[in-house]
Structure 1
Amino acid sequence: MKLYISYGTQHYLENLPEAALDHSVLLESSGDAVLIAELDGNNPFKEGHAYEILNSRGELKDGSFAVLNHIQVTDEGRSLFEERFKQRAGLVEQEPGFAAIRVLRPEENHPYIVMTLWKSQSDFTSWQQSDAYAETHKNRGTGQGLPQTLFSGPSFVKEYNVVSKS
């Protein structure tokens, strides 16, 4: 299974034939939009990014708020980064309002993406303030966490509202 992402304006993406694909989700935030298609097979987008799904829980269609954490990883650090995510505790899945998670490996030279979907933005905010979040991220920036040399640049987070689901 793969996940494909195309970026543009909401109007542009809504009018793509691919917007009607089964298992597609349209996300929007302040004029920026993302169309996501999760499927077996080839990239349906002419201008899209392809990702292998390393870890998957929940259904994308169950969320109404999405958080995409883009993480830039060096070529040398890919295996360690992926191994850590394979061993993740999975605490986020137990949180109220959790809908889905996808840990995505880029097929080309793009950042990894950790995408979570939530029933609401307030559910995501509650997760960030929870003991489970603190436990999940307790080693960040410490000697027990991932070494900083693993990252080729700063990570960045984008938050979106789900506009439509197929």
Structure 2
Amino acid sequence: MHVYLTTGTFDFLKRIESKYPNEVMVTMVNENGALLLHETIGGTAFKEPRRYEVLESIGEIQKEGFAVMNNIPVKDEGRPLFEHQFKNQVQNIENEPGLIAFRLLRPLSSNTYVILTVWENEAYHQKWKKSDTFFEADKIKGTSINTQQNIFASAPYVSKYSITK
């Protein structure tokens, strides 16, 4: 399974999405613009997408919700450790209230992994961030990865999007 991401104006991306009604395509917006996500086992119609392989998957990405993308640049030598750590933590989030979907995305044309979570709404995401599950995962991540070696190429960043029909 692969995920392809492209950006553009909301109207332009919605037109692309509407051309492929049988594909999993979801347009998202935030204060910086719009993003179109295409999840597929095949190729994509996007001309120059960011390309990812899906390593872990929970749930189905819907046409409504609140998406959070944790973008984490990882050095080549740190990829195995990073992937192992996050694959082992998937079960910690799968039963969280309000979670619709989760994807651990390995970059195919960059060094930036994406941890995508889709929630029913922003309130569920905020509630999860205050939960013991979140703090436990963050604590494990911090001790296992950061103290063993510096695997990060640069600072991670978060992108948040609204998904609406």
Q: TM-score when scaled to structure 1?
A: 0.90
Paired amino acid for 1:120 = N
Give the aligned partner of residue 14 of structure 1: 14
The answer to whether the 8 A contact 2:81-2:145 is kept is no
The answer to whether the 8 A contact 1:68-1:115 is kept is yes
Matches of 2:130 and 2:19 in 1, distance apart? 34
Paired amino acid for 2:114 = I
Deviation (angstroms), 1:8: 1.8
Write out aligned runs for 1:44-55 (5 A). Answer: 44-55=45-56
Matches of 1:16 and 1:79 in 2, distance apart? 35
Please state whether the residue corresponding to 2:94 is helix, strand or coil: helix
Please state whether the residue corresponding to 2:12 is helix, strand or coil: helix
The answer to whether the 8 A contact 2:7-2:35 is kept is yes
Q: Any idea what the Cα deviations from partners look like across 1:98-137, whole Å, max 9, x if unmatched?
A: 1110000011124100000000100000000111111111
Question: Using a 3 Å threshold, how does the CA distance of structure 1 residues 11 and 99 change in structure 2: closer, same or farther?
Answer: same
Give the aligned partner of residue 4 of structure 1: 4
Please state whether the residue corresponding to 2:62 is helix, strand or coil: helix
Deviation (angstroms), 1:69: 0.5
Give structure 1 stretches of 5+ with no counterpart.
none
Which shifted more, 41-50 or 118-127?
A: 41-50
The answer to whether the 8 A contact 1:62-1:99 is kept is no
Write out aligned runs for 1:87-126 (5 A). Answer: 87-126=88-127
Matches of 1:17 and 1:135 in 2, distance apart? 38
Q: Any idea what the Cα deviations from partners look like across 1:20-49, whole Å, max 9, x if unmatched?
A: 342111110014111001111113200211
Q: TM-score when scaled to structure 2?
A: 0.90
The answer to whether the 8 A contact 1:100-1:118 is kept is yes
How many residue pairs match? The answer is: 163
Write out aligned runs for 1:54-73 (5 A). Answer: 54-61=55-62, 63-73=64-74
Matches of 2:41 and 2:156 in 1, distance apart? 28
Matches of 1:63 and 1:92 in 2, distance apart? 20
Give the aligned partner of residue 43 of structure 1: 44
Give structure 2 stretches of 5+ with no counterpart.
none
The answer to whether the 8 A contact 1:89-1:136 is kept is no
Matches of 1:89 and 1:129 in 2, distance apart? 18
